Amino acid sequence: MRFGARNKIKAKVVSVKKGDVMSLIKFDVDEPVHMASVLTTESVEDLNLGVGDEVELVIKAIHVLPVKKGS
């Protein structure tokens, strides 16, 4: 899959807090030290995100989009 965003950061999922509609995923990154993303719970489940997963964070405008390797 191709992305329009140019800024990518390698990260590791450190927590997943699921809600009925939205979920909060927190990440460990080298610089800055921590980042977070709010996305739909459906997206979290589609990506099968879990603590310890390594992802790339695609940063565009105010959005941080986690992209799981192999997706």
Q: What is the pTM of this model?
A: 0.53
Instruction: Check residues 45 and 65 and name the one with the higher pLDDT.
Output: 45
- Would residue 46 count as lying in a domain? yes
The CATH code of the domain that includes 37 is 2.40.50.100
Predicted confidence (pLDDT) at residue 60 exceeds the cutoff of 80: no
Instruction: Report the alpha-carbon distance of residue 70 to residue 21 in Å, rounded.
Output: 25
Q: Three-state SS for 47?
A: helix
pLDDT value for 49: 92
Structural domain harbouring 27: 7-68
Q: Which pLDDT belongs to residue 24?
A: 92
Residue 67's pLDDT band (boundaries 50, 70, 90)?
Answer: confident
Number of domains in the chain: 1
Does residue 55 lie within any of the structural domains?
Answer: yes
Look at residue 28 and tell me if it is in a domain.
Answer: yes
Sheet holding 54-60, edge to edge: 34-40, 22-29, 7-18, 54-60, 63-68
Q: Is residue 17 part of a domain?
A: yes
Question: What is the residue type of 35?
Answer: M
2 within some domain: no
Q: What pLDDT digit, counting tens, does each position of 13-41 carry?
A: 999 999 999 999 998 887 766 778 888 99
